Chains A and B, each alone.
Chain A
Amino acid sequence: MTSTAMPTVRGIACVLAHTPGLLQYGSKPTRELAKDGALIANIRGRLRSFDDAVAYGPNQVFIGRHAPEWLWDVPEPWWRHGDEGASERGPAGRIVSEDAFWGLLRMADEFGIVDVAAERLARSRELLAAGGLFSDAELARLSAPAEKTSSADGALTLHAADGTAVGRVANGYAGDTSQTADILLENLACKASGALALKELLAQLRMDPAEVEYVLGCGEEAVGDRYQRGGGAISKAMAEMAGCTEATGSDVKAFCCAPVHALVLAGALVESGIYRNVVVVGGGSLAKLGMKMLGHLSKDMPLLEDCLAAVAILVGPADGTGVRMRLDAVGKHTVGSGGSAGAIYEALVARPLDKLGLRIVDVDRYAVELHNPEITVPAGSGNVPRTNYRMIAALAVSRGEMKRADLDGFERAHGMPGFVPTQGHIPAALPYLAHALPRLRDGSLRRALFVAKGSLFLGKMTNMADGMSVLLDRED
């Protein structure tokens, strides 16, 4: 493959929807509240304000206002030391409030499943209009009440952060356990946040929505009904909501490894000439809100998992910036690779770099699973990026490329602190593109390896994990 044939990443949008009122419907909060309903008071007492969520350092990094490395010098705990210069808008994305998100949910709903109080919708309409991403025509649904479907029973009540009821979510088909209100809410939240990311990407790139030809979803939601529980194609639904009239789409399903699979597949579609503009979209995960809340509650912390996070990435032909997606050296974890850490990192890091004649230390930055450690450590779940960096460093040591004494320092030299909300597939490497792309373009970064892993064993179809990696570099 010649260099000019290699596709590039043209842009990325990273958005957060601050939805503290929805935290109670995360998987862990739902189960804990079922055991002890009184917990809702504790939960509500620990929700963050929109301003605090915006000022939160990792969230400012997520939308591109600071480099990930900036967090090394922010005093801990980060939640106590908000960024005084914080803003809702950043070079790579934006943070929207719960007030705005009710409107996005209502806009995402074509079936009268979600009903929201008129005055809330009016407020959402104001905010979304001011945000500049949606036209009056697109916002029109916020002026009309929901058309009720036959199963109009309020199965789930929607609450604002302070506990005020703001609306309800109905079940889908009566008696269909794969379309209960909680599942539909999860899927609509994914669709709404993913469409927001897609809209943000189009605005950022000043791109006509009609130029998008294909959308690849990479989330972990399951869209379907009783006969086809995971039918999918939420990507096409997102494309519709974002006005991409010339696009179709499909979803890549590979647990939290899906985003890197999707990026590689997008690159392949472009490199083959089938499409010129392919967008990878990952919507937010409602199920993961409040996942580590017991740890946070026990340590008198605010509940930090209060944001849906979504990303949208445009992949296209080489654009003159010199940034290349090295499809000639994709790392993949195969059925035969085995489950040892050695085998996994051999497959994902050593083999692709060997193909290019590179040492592990020749890669300037590794983007791994960038889960915010402030969320995971208090819950006893460790520091995921650090664990990954130590593994890559250990591999470098075992290959004689690095001294054992330098293992601890690898995280600073070639890695970064985690800064992404614990939304499963979203932290899987790709958010670093918001920082890598400008640096690859200006030459301050030569190479970045994006490495993700997936816990396939959670689905009980296999005991295996999965992994994929792809390198981005500069042409010279």
Chain B
Amino acid sequence: MDLQGKKVIAIGERDGVQATAIAAVARSAGAEVLLELNQCFV
């Protein structure tokens, strides 16, 4: 599975991995991040 050029939606969680961190990782793999969503359950 290649991330290069793929379009990614990053759904993070405040107490898990946040969306900005997921996005940074995805971009470092050459993906394009379309949407960053953070969730907080409490």
Q: How many A-B residue pairs have CB under 8 A?
A: 51
Decide yes or no whether A465 CB sits under 8 A from chain B: yes
Q: Which of B8-39 contact A (CB under 8 A)?
A: 14-21, 36, 38
Who on chain B is nearest to A379 by CB?
Answer: B41
The one of A341, A427, A457, A465 that contacts B42, using a Cβ cutoff of 8 Å: A427
* A276 proximal to B (CB < 8 A): no
Q: Answer yes or no: A135 CB below 8 A from chain B CBs.
A: no
Query: In this complex, what residue of A is CB-closest to B37?
Result: A457
Instruction: Decide if A455 touches B21 in the complex (CB within 8 Å).
Output: no
Interface residues of A in 335-394 (CB under 8 A from B): 338-341, 369, 371, 376, 379, 381-382, 384, 387-388, 391
Give Cα distance in the complex from A339 to B17, angstroms. Answer: 8
Of B15, B36, B38, the most chain A CB neighbours within 10 A belong to: B15
Minimum CB–CB distance for A259 against chain B, Å: 14
Tally of contact residues, B, Cβ under 8 A: 13
B1 within 8 A of A: no
Determine whether A94 belongs to the interface, using a CB cutoff of 8 Å to chain B.
Answer: no
Q: Which of A440-476 contact B (CB under 8 A)?
A: 453, 455, 457-458, 463, 465
Q: Which residues of B contact A453 (CB under 8 A)?
A: 14-15
Number of interface residues of A (CB under 8 A): 25
Q: Chain A residues with Cβ under 8 A from B41's Cβ? A: 376, 379, 381-382, 384
B40 cross-chain contacts in A, Cβ below 8 A: 455, 457-458
Whether a CB of chain B sits under 8 angstroms from the CB of A422 is yes
Nearest residue in B to A383 (C-beta to C-beta)? Answer: B15
Indicate if A267 sits at the interface (CB-CB under 8 A): no
Contact of A388 with B19 in the complex, beta carbons under 8 Å: no
- A382 with B20, Cβ < 8 A, contacts A371-B42, A376-B41, A455-B40 known: no
Q: Does any Cβ of B come within 8 Å of A424's Cβ? A: yes
Separation of A377 and B40 alpha carbons in the complex (Å):
14
Instruction: Out of A256, A341, A376, name the residue touching B17 (CB < 8 Å).
Output: A341
**B20, A369: Cβ atoms closer than 8 Å:** no
Q: Closest A residue to B19 by CB, please name it.
A: A463
Find out whether the CB atom of A340 lies under 8 angstroms from the CB atom of B42. Answer: no
Give the nearest-CB partner of A388 in chain B. B15
Within the complex, the shortest CB–CB distance from B28 to chain A, in Å, comes to 13
Return chain B residues, CB-CB under 8 Å to A455. Answer: 14, 38, 40
In the assembled complex, the Cα of A455 lies from the Cα of B37 at a distance in Å of 12
Specify the chain B residue showing the minimal Cβ separation from A382: B41
B36's nearest neighbour on chain A, judged by CB, is A463
B contact residues around A382 at 8 Å (CB): 15, 41
CB-defined contacts of B17 to chain A, threshold 8 Å: 340-341
In the complex, the answer to whether B14 meets A340 with C-beta atoms within 8 Å is no
A338 with B15: in contact, given A369-B42, A376-B41 (CB under 8 Å)? no
Q: A291 to chain B: which residues have CB within 8 Å?
A: 42
Q: Which of chain B's residues have a CB closer than 8 A to the CB of A465?
A: 14, 18, 38
Q: Say whether A339 contacts B42, CB under 8 Å.
A: no
User: Contacts A371-B42, A382-B41, A455-B40: A339 and B18 contacting too (C-beta < 8 A)?
Assistant: yes
Task: Enumerate 21 A-B pairs (CB-CB under 8 Å) in ascending A order.
Answer: A291-B42, A338-B21, A339-B18, A339-B20, A339-B21, A340-B21, A341-B16, A341-B17, A341-B18, A379-B41, A382-B41, A384-B42, A391-B15, A453-B14, A455-B14, A455-B38, A457-B14, A457-B38, A463-B36, A463-B38, A465-B18
Binding site for A on B (CB under 8 A): 14-21, 36, 38, 40-42
Residues of A bordering B, CB below 8 Å: 256, 291, 338-341, 369, 371, 376, 379, 381-382, 384, 387-388, 391, 422, 424, 427, 453, 455, 457-458, 463, 465
